[in-house]
């Protein structure tokens, strides 16, 4: 197998790694542009609050004094958006809209458009107490102990999520760079396999953490806020992107390992560069011709004098 064969051998893991990197980048870009519905629909978690403003239990909760006037009712109580979508670095909020392309499709299905997206924030976590403009007393009354404990755990886990995400991006990029060197030798494949193992570990940790913590947050939301017509739901599309990237990363690692042990870049033929002889292509021929052919010996001639003509120095003629 020459260089062309080895390139074909590493092509599949390289493509899988690049796709995984593209999916990870998409996770980081989600929610960065409120006008891009594709990215805003890739949310991790969604708080559904469209029915909350009509709930009498919330109409008497006074808002935080720092809450903007447009988010307050006439009596000073809070006014919530219809939904809040959470991403890796920020959140977006909006209402059902009938403006432009965002029309009400039916009574049961409303196209909702994000009217606001918060700024990018490292180690971001969605704090409903701050976002909804609640004061401490309101938050305690509304959330209860179970949701507050879940939010505290979520706050701590958010730091690890962003750290694992950054490590996954960096190691995947390094994996691709080193992977180009795997074309020339199996040593390059071994190095790429090691980096791929690290990358896959970070991606798997990120996937497990982001799924587990937001699943717990969804349960806590639905348990504590159901009386106020507020519910939470996981973003299936975003989690699918994360887990597909995880599967691709592990798959590429397997094929990198395969290329390090089973795909040699050396040619099978031997070549004598000094004499220009290709031993694989030059057939062996015996000295005497083909096997089974006529054998031609060297004529020996008369080795000695004919019988009776030998020189006899002591022989004398007849007397």
Inter-CA distances, 43 with 33, 59, 112, 132, Å: 12, 28, 13, 19
Inter-CA distances, 55 with 59, 227, 229, 317, Å: 7, 9, 7, 157
Residue pair 221/35 in contact (Cβ under 8 Å)? The answer is no
In a 3-state reduction of DSSP, which class is residue 62? strand
Least confident of 115-119, 130-134, 228-232, 244-248: 130-134
Rounded Cα distance between 209 and 164, Å, is 9
Rounded Cα distance between 288 and 54, Å, is 107
Q: In the 8-state DSSP scheme, what is residue 312? A: -
Residue pair 96/108 in contact (Cβ under 8 Å)? The answer is no
Between the two ends of the chain, the Cα-to-Cα distance in Å is: 93
Alpha-helical (H) ranges within 115-269 are 128-131, 136-181, 186-224, 236-262
Closest alpha carbon to 143 in 83, 226, 22, 69: 226
Please provide the average confidence, as pLDDT, over all residues in the chain.
74
Q: Give the phi and the psi of residue 11 in degrees, each rounded to 5.
A: -65, -45
The burial class, CB within 10 Å (0-12 / 13-18 / 19+), for 235 is: buried
pLDDT grade for 13, boundaries at 50, 70 and 90: confident
In a 3-state reduction of DSSP, which class is residue 56? helix
**Model pLDDT, residue 172:** 95
Rounded Cα distance between 184 and 5, Å, is 11
**Tell me: the pLDDT tens digits for 190-210?**
888 899 999 999 999 999 999
Rounded Cα distance between 248 and 196, Å, is 11
**Model pLDDT, residue 65:** 45
Residues above pLDDT 90, as percent of the chain: 28
């Amino acid at each position: 197998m020459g260089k062309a064969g080895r390139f074909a051998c590493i092509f599949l893991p390289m493509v899988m790694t690049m796709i995984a990197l593209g999916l990870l980048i998409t996770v980081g870009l989600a929610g960065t542009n409120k006008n891009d519905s594709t990215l805003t629909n890739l949310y991790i978690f969604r708080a559904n609050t469209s029915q909350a403003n009509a709930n009498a239990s919330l109409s008497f909760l006074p808002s935080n004094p720092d809450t903007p006037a447009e988010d307050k009712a006439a009596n000073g109580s809070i006014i919530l958006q219809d939904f809040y979508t959470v991403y890796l670095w920020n959140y977006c909020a909006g209402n059902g809209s009938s403006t432009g392309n965002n029309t009400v499709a039916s009574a049961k299905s409303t196209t909702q458009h994000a009217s606001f997206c918060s700024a990018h924030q490292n180690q971001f976590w969605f704090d409903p107490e701050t976002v909804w403009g609640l004061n401490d007393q309101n938050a305690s009354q509304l959330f209860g102990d179970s949701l507050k404990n879940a939010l505290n755990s979520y706050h701590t886990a958010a730091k690890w999520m962003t750290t694992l995400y950054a490590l996954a991006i960096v190691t995947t990029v390094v994996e691709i760079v080193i992977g180009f060197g795997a074309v020339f030798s199996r040593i390059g494949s071994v190095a790429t396999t090691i980096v791929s193992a690290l990358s896959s570990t970070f991606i798997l940790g990120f996937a497990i953490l982001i799924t587990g913590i937001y699943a717990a947050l969804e349960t806590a939301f639905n348990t504590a806020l159901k009386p106020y017509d507020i519910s939470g739901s996981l973003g299936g599309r975003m989690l699918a992107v994360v887990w597909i990237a995880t599967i691709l990363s592990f798959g590429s690692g397997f094929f990198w390992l395969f290329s390090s042990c089973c795909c040699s870049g050396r040619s099978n033929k031997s070549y004598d560069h000094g004499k220009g002889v290709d031993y694989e292509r030059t057939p062996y021929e015996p000295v005497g011709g083909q096997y089974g052919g006529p054998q031609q010996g060297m004529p020996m001639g008369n080795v000695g004098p004919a019988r009776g003509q030998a020189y006899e120095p002591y022989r004398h003629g007849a007397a």
